[in-house]
Amino acid sequence: MSTESPTPRGLILAAGLGTRLKPLTDTTPKCLLPIAGQPLLDFWIDTVARAGIRNLLINTHAHARQVRSYTQAVNQRGGICLTEAHEPHLLGSAGTLFANASFADHAKEVVIIYADNLSNVSLTDMLAFHRSHTDSVTVLLFHADDPSGCGIVELDKENRIVSFVEKPVTPRSDLANAGVYIIDGPAYRQIAQMNAHDIGSDVLPQWIGKMRGWKMEGIHLDIGTHAAYESAQVLGKDLLLERGYDDQGQRPAVFFDRDGTLIESVHYLSHPDQVRILPGAATAVARLRRAGYVCVVVTNQSAVGRGMITEKELSKIHQVMCEQFAQQEAVFDGIYHCSVVPTKPDRTIVENIHRKPGPGMLQQAARELRLDLSRSWMVGDMISDALAGENARCRGSILVSTGKGRENEQESLASRFHQVPDLLTAAQLVLGT
């Protein structure tokens, strides 16, 4: 029986020196240079998450401490898992695969990304194309304005790559290697065993006839010069608007209660084996994310405060939950919890600002993820969830009937909020407004 995970993994190549962008890169790693006010890595983290990829490996070298701080901040939020592969000496793109051959263990596919590009590629669509053919490697292609400065390919009628020439003197095509690859797990391990230096120069020419090319339209820019960096500022604004950002750099979010909204309600859930996604919940999260909403879990967890489970055990539960959602292409941007033990049974009273119905978890997420609460929604099965959204001044709150929290709710309060049968219906309501 295969032990491969149906969820792809992502490898982000971000260790380069950025020599051509000096003096900008004298103090800042290229992958963290601001593009329209956002670190370049933010664009790629969002891109892979939209495709349901949450387990990422990122190689580091230049200004590694800054990249490490970035990855730690992402990991602390709990939705996406970034692992650092530090290179004291640059290994080259193929050398990174050799040094991290085990990254593909149990992975059906690995998506490899050069982080010094700005792109609006849909990895969801690219993955669908990859899975529609029988070759082990798919290369993202774009139409280059200057083919002589790129790796240029030719395709046959089945989109199989039949020619690959790095920086040709006389280009025979304008289809250029965009620096994004989808590689099946066994092929990744085979390439790693080559112990080569560069994917473009050393690996791809040896795979001619065994790769397909996927042509994209839209934004794709190699930020390798100061002129390209200036162009990226303009293109980046368009891409941010496309992804739901406003002119203040903020996005709308949907906040989700956990038990009874995303997963089955279990009284004081204490073990990962008890995690079961509610029908349609992953589809709802994936649709909202693709529509530009940041997806955040906010959950009261007094079981921690009562000593019934530890923070480490809670983290494991959330890891399993996130993996189950990722298997259905749904990824969360963050998970926030409050372990405060209430002293009163009334769910409408704010005893602690961070415990729902208090707005604290939503406000913290808004600060850390740059969210516009006035365009955001709260979805849950308890009146405390709806009130948390109201107290945070969200656009609206939605109560779902999938949990146990609504059984004894005060109808007079519940009637103030949207009421729907499940999360999928709630998503339709959000997307239709």
**Residues with catalytic roles:** 257, 259
At position 99, the amino acid (one-letter code) is A
Q: Where are the alpha helices (DSSP H) in 266-356?
A: 281-290, 302-305, 311-326
DSSP assignment of 62-75: TTHHHHHHHHHHHH
What's the rounded Cα separation, in Å, for the pair 244 and 246? Answer: 7
Integer Cα distance of 110 and 200 in angstroms: 17
Q: Residue 5: which residues within 8 A CB-CB, separation 6 or more? A: 106, 107, 108, 327
322: amino acid identity, one letter: C
Give me 14's structure tokens.
């971000």
Q: At 242, which helix (H) or strand (E)?
A: helix 226-242
Q: In degrees rounded to 5, what are phi and psi of residue 412?
A: -65, -35
Q: Which stretches does DSSP call E strand in 185-248? A: 211-215, 220-222
CB 317 within 8 A of CB 303: no
Distances (CA, A) of 68 to 44, 62, 423: 16, 11, 36
**CB–CB of 164/150 below 8 Å?**
no
Tell me the two tokens of residue 73. Answer: 């901040």
Element (H, E) at 139: strand 137-143
Could you give the CA distance from residue 83 to residue 167 in angstroms, rounded to a whole number? 33
What is the distance between the alpha carbons of residues 38 and 368, in angstroms, rounded to a whole number? 13
Find out whether 222 and 142 touch, Cβ atoms under 8 Å: no
